[in-house]
Amino acid sequence: MSYAVTVFSYPFGSKRLEETIRSTNDLVCSLQSRYDVTLGADIRNGVELMLPLAELVEEFLCSCSRAHGWLDIEWLFCLNWVISQPTDQTISTAIGSMKSDCRDFLRPFLAKAMRCYDVGPVESSVFVAMNGLRLRPPYEHLWGAAYQRWPSGVAVEMEGYRESVFHEFLHLFGVSEGYDENTKKPQSGCEGCWMQYDATQGSGLCAKHLGELKAFIAEGSTQQ
């Protein structure tokens, strides 16, 4: 099974775009060579292949910065949800799931998302290499975040460390956090894993998180 992930950068044109694509492709190769795990990720350059969406993501994130000074990752999820299922019903459901104070902000972007493509729905997760915009408090100090799984799941990464990119990318494929949310200490057995709080201290996947990735892939294979 092929899992499309479209990568964008913010600000538009940042060198982080190519660096992130290279890191995610390296991860896919490492999973195959080290663990004999085939993650059929189709990693796409959003600027080259989907310029209308890239421009919409840029406009959306710029507006988040001007209006709020932060990004709520659930909003990015709603945007991608409408792109993957571009119907009035999807917009209505997405808007209904949001708090009332952000509906007016989101509505025009969701309407634009429906007009991004002439080819119909695009089933792809979105990964944003992001600089200069923090996450919504109380998560402003995190290196990144992910919300939901492929195909409509989204992730952002803000530091540019390869291991941090690996961490957020793997969340899109059902891999959970590997640390205690209160103490930030690694879970037992996760001390050398990319899924710990400081992903740069990791050098691979522990047994638990490798098992989660394999389970996600196996689930996808039964749905083909």
> For the segment 65-95, what is each residue's pLDDT rounded down to a tens digit?
999 999 999 999 999 888 888 888 888 898 8
Range of the domain at 71: 3-175
DSSP strand pairing (134-135 vs 41-45): unpaired
Residue 201 lies in a domain: no
pLDDT at residue 171 in the model: 98
- Reported as a single tens digit per residue, the pLDDT across 98-143 is 877 788 898 899 888 887 655 455 689 999 999 989 999 988 889 9
pLDDT at residue 101 in the model: 73
Residue 168 lies in a domain: yes
Residue 191 lies in a domain: no
| 24/166 Cα distance (integer angstroms) | 7
- Reported as a single tens digit per residue, the pLDDT across 176-189 is 999 999 999 999 99
Q: Where are the beta strands (DSSP E) in the chain?
A: 3-10, 41-45, 70-71, 125-130, 134-135, 144-147, 154-157
- The domain total for the chain is 1
pLDDT at residue 100 in the model: 77
Residue at token pair 């350059």: 45
Tell me which of 119-133, 187-201, 205-219 is least confident.
119-133
Residue 62 lies in a domain: yes
pLDDT at residue 83 in the model: 83
Residue 33 lies in a domain: yes
Tell me which of 31-40, 54-63, 186-195, 214-223 is least confident.
214-223
* Angle at which helices 100-114 and 73-84 cross, to 10°: 30
As a whole-number percent, the residues of the chain with pLDDT over 90 amount to 67
